[in-house]
C-alpha cells in the first residue's frame, strides 16, 4: 500500500554535510568530454532541507508509488510546514493509518491516488478522519 515507517527528526545541531560538486552537468544521453576534476562543495543540508524545524525523513514500504519514482525502501524528505496542494505526494493519516499517496482534490471530494495501477484510488468519505501529515519534497532512492 505504500506506508511510512517511523519518521525521524533531522537533527538541527548535526554537523553540516558537504560533498564535492562537478562544475559541469553530466550528460545522461550522449557522452560529453570528461572533466577530471571537481569544483567546490555543495552543502546537502542546504540543498535538500528548506525548513529544518519542519523536516522529517520517512522510510517507504510497499510499491504503490512506483509510478512516481518512489520504491520500497526509499526514504522521503517530508516538510510538515508546506500547505498540501492538489497533485502533491503527501504522507496522510486516514482513519489512523499512515500512507503515502498523491493528493487529488476534485469536485466530488478528496482522493488519495496510488501511482501503481495494481492499487485502487482511495476516495476519502466525507466522515473519514483525514489529516495530511506532510508534503514529500525529495525522494532518496538507492540505485
pLDDT in tens, 34-73: 555 556 677 777 778 888 888 888 899 999 999 999 999 9
Residue 130 has pLDDT above 50, yes or no: yes
73 contacts: CB under 8 Å, gap ≥ 6: 59, 60, 61, 142
Q: Single out the residue of 139, 143, 110 nearest to residue 2, CA to CA.
A: 139
Angle at the Cα of 141 from the Cα atoms of 31 and 61, rounded to 5 degrees: 155
Tell me the catalytic residues: 64, 101
How far is Cα 80 from Cα 67, in angstroms, rounded to an integer?
23
C-alpha cell of residue 130: 483525514
In CATH, the number for domain 3-11+51-140 is 2.10.109.10
pLDDT for 13 equals 47
How far is Cα 78 from Cα 8, in angstroms, rounded to an integer?
10
Count of CB atoms within 10 A of residue 133's CB? 18
Residue 7 has pLDDT above 60, yes or no: no
Give me the residue spans of the domains in the chain. Answer: 3-11+51-140
For the chain, give the percent of residues with pLDDT over 90.
45
Amino acid at each position: 500500500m505504500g506506508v511510512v515507517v517511523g519518521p525521524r527528526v533531522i537533527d538541527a545541531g548535526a554537523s553540516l554535510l558537504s560533498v564535492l560538486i562537478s562544475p559541469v552537468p553530466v550528460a545522461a544521453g550522449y557522452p560529453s568530454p570528461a572533466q577530471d576534476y571537481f569544483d567546490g562543495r555543495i552543502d546537502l543540508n542546504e540543498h535538500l532541507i528548506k525548513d529544518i524545524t519542519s523536516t522529517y525523513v520517512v522510510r517507504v514500504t510497499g510499491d504503490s508509488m512506483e509510478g512516481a519514482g518512489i520504491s520500497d525502501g526509499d526514504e522521503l524528505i517530508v516538510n510538515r510546514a508546506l500547505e498540501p496542494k492538489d497533485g502533491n505526494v503527501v504522507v496522510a493519516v486516514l482513519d489512523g493509518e499512515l500512507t503515502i499517496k498523491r493528493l487529488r482534490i476534485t469536485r466530488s471530494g478528496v482522493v488519495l491516488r496510488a501511482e501503481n495501477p495494481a492499487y485502487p484510488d482511495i476516495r476519502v468519505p466525507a466522515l473519514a478522519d483525514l489529516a495530511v501529515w506532510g508534503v514529500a519534497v525529495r525522494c532518496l532512492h538507492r540505485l
